[in-house]
Chain A
């Protein structure tokens, strides 16, 4: 009997710890979900239990969000910015990563580490001068300023990821193609690229989620409501003066979070391998 009690205690405390941990991590998201579908009367009532519905759930906040705010416009802006940034990133980082992976000697390694380190340069250091640069280009208050600036953090990170991928593609495959009459360029396009489709897909996902998560540059460069990306629009435009539209705010946050959360969970291992400089494979 004491053995059984000890086992129950051990299992109980284990699951207890897991539950506490998961609650701490995920409660704000549960809170978003609940707030989104609660009616205003239920939300702003100190008497009722906030953890569950005390009145019938409502779609009113979602309707308001889609019909009476610029939410749909922000989603489009984010998608447009994301696609453009991904395109620029691929165009620049793909050859750079390949070149770094195949360049002989120590200089390539050092160059790679140098590019990787620029990922450590935070937006907070650069937003002031960049806001002046953006103005000089005539891009102030336009989402195109973000398309130009976001690659500064996606290119270093993605070049580094690509370098890792290409190093794992055996050189013999290209050499065989070259012997068969391909140019170096041809060998790259015909043999290496098809083999790196999983890597390219990972980079696309990460470049996109990194642009979706950015906030500082958007906050600094853009003030017109209809040019804002999703994260900025939700955080700044759904608050009128001192009045917070919590149902709409939480609904928007929830809708924007779900795709990013899924993408992250799917590609987590790759991301970790990239961010630790390939120490974990």
Chain B
């Protein structure tokens, strides 16, 4: 048998294209290389900057150890920023999740115009976040805010002193959280709908026959089945909000007086605008332990989905 195979004439390169154990690694190498050079390398570069005195004005490397980390932790602004980041993330996730679940249950029903309603609800998540945030900035305008106009028209707010949505500390917090939740909830809707439709119909029928009511079906049958994808979506949502910089940058630039500053916007301000790359890198690296936790949860969720 082997003798016959050896007699078939083949061009030389064919030999290369026919070996799975060679082609496999060759096919995947560019992807890994790209990720290593432009994700892993910059990450180590960030660590390198964080323990140096690197600024764009003085780009010479001087080792300063953990000094930058102490500087950052001791700064009042940074502590405020860290708390803000958690408030925005948790607030937006809770609102987004509840609203997403509620909206999904509505949009699962059959009614005329459902397709249009779904398409419109997905919009906030689909369009570029920077452009959508501009629309909100205009709606929160200090003088021509449509929200204030409406509140004044129905008599809820005094026309002399309308609320300054982006100019007052507490209101700016609310504004940023609402925009994050607004952007996030359609993602929740889509995930919940996808999850609900993946629950086998016979399981639900069996539960109904056994006497399970609406709440019981929802929380003891459907929720455990769709839990893994909800967790995956939640991790993505959390990571995207926690590390976001565009919403805050465009709405408030972190102000008023750092009231809405988040890790991303602070790092941008320190590292790029002020040129203090070392301290900026430290602020960025504070994202890392958090991301690590997200990765661990993600791995567990990915593994559970296979069972």
Residues of A whose CB lies within 8 Å of any CB of B are 14-15, 17-18, 21-22, 24-29, 31-32, 35, 43-44, 46, 50-51, 91-93, 95-96, 98-100, 102-103, 111, 113, 115-118, 120-133, 148-149, 151-152, 155-156, 159, 183-186, 209, 212-213, 215-216, 219-220, 231-232, 234-235, 244, 246, 249-250, 252-253, 256-257, 260-261, 263-265, 268-269, 272-273, 275-281
Give chain A's interface secondary structure class: helix
Residues on the B chain within 8 Å of A149, using CB: 38
A46, A186, A263: most-surrounded residue (chain B CB, <10 A):
A46
- 0/1 interface trace, chain B 169-204, chain A, CB 8 Å (1 if under): 000000000000010011000110011001000000
When the two chains form their complex, are residues B302 and A24 in contact, meaning their CB atoms are under 8 A apart? no
Bound: A252/B42 CA distance, A: 34
- Least Cβ distance of B275 to chain A in Å? 11
Residues on the B chain within 8 Å of A185, using CB: 17-18, 23
When the two chains form their complex, are residues B128 and A276 in contact, meaning their CB atoms are under 8 A apart? no
B209 within 8 A of A: no
- Nearest residue (CB) in B for A221 is B272
Bound: A98/B302 CA distance, A: 20
- Least Cβ distance of A10 to chain B in Å? 11
Complex A-B: 9 CB contacts under 8 Å: A29-B123, A46-B149, A95-B30, A120-B291, A128-B272, A149-B38, A186-B17, A234-B134, A273-B194
Residues on the B chain within 8 Å of A215, using CB: 128-130, 246
- Nearest residue (CB) in A for B228 is A279
- Nearest residue (CB) in A for B264 is A124
Residue among B42, B43, B272, B302 making CB contact with A277, cutoff 8 Å: B302
When the two chains form their complex, are residues B123 and A261 in contact, meaning their CB atoms are under 8 A apart? yes
Residues on the A chain within 8 Å of B239, using CB: 120, 122
Q: Given A18-B111, A272-B191, decide whether A44 and B144 contact each other with a Cβ distance below 8 A.
A: yes
B45 within 8 A of A: yes
When the two chains form their complex, are residues B31 and A92 in contact, meaning their CB atoms are under 8 A apart? yes
- Least Cβ distance of B23 to chain A in Å? 6
B258 within 8 A of A: no
- Least Cβ distance of B38 to chain A in Å? 5
B97 within 8 A of A: no
A29, A98, A151, A185: most-surrounded residue (chain B CB, <10 A):
A185
Residue among A115, A128, A253, A278 making CB contact with B31, cutoff 8 Å: A115
Q: Which 5 A-B pairs have the closest CB atoms?
A: A122-B243, A264-B126, A95-B27, A99-B27, A96-B31
- Nearest residue (CB) in A for B146 is A50
Bound: A81/B281 CA distance, A: 27
Bound: A235/B123 CA distance, A: 19
Bound: A115/B41 CA distance, A: 15
Residues on the A chain within 8 Å of B24, using CB: 99, 102-103
Residues on the B chain within 8 Å of A250, using CB: 134-135, 138
Interface stretch (choices B69-77, B216-224, B292-300): B292-300
When the two chains form their complex, are residues B20 and A184 in contact, meaning their CB atoms are under 8 A apart? yes
Residues on the B chain within 8 Å of A124, using CB: 243-245, 263-264, 267, 284, 287
Residues on the A chain within 8 Å of B130, using CB: 215, 231-232, 234-235
Residues on the A chain within 8 Å of B111, using CB: 14-15, 18
- Least Cβ distance of B278 to chain A in Å? 10
Interface residues of B in 116-141 (CB under 8 A from A): 117, 119-136, 138-139, 141
Residues on the B chain within 8 Å of A95, using CB: 26-28, 30-31
- Least Cβ distance of A36 to chain B in Å? 11
- Least Cβ distance of A139 to chain B in Å? 12
Give 20 new A-B contacts, CB below 8 A, not counting A32-B135, A155-B34: A21-B121, A22-B120, A93-B31, A115-B35, A118-B39, A120-B294, A122-B239, A125-B284, A127-B268, A128-B277, A183-B14, A213-B127, A215-B128, A231-B128, A260-B127, A261-B123, A264-B126, A276-B232, A280-B229, A281-B198
B103 within 8 A of A: yes
Residue among A27, A183, A273 making CB contact with B18, cutoff 8 Å: A183
Residues on the A chain within 8 Å of B107, using CB: 18
Bound: A175/B45 CA distance, A: 46
Residue among B119, B123, B144, B190 making CB contact with A50, cutoff 8 Å: B144
Residues on the A chain within 8 Å of B235, using CB: 120
When the two chains form their complex, are residues B233 and A24 in contact, meaning their CB atoms are under 8 A apart? no
Q: Given A96-B28, A96-B30, A118-B39, decide whether A279 and B190 contact each other with a Cβ distance below 8 A.
A: no
- Nearest residue (CB) in B for A235 is B130
Residue among A18, A50, A100, A260 making CB contact with B128, cutoff 8 Å: A260
Residues on the B chain within 8 Å of A280, using CB: 194-195, 198, 229
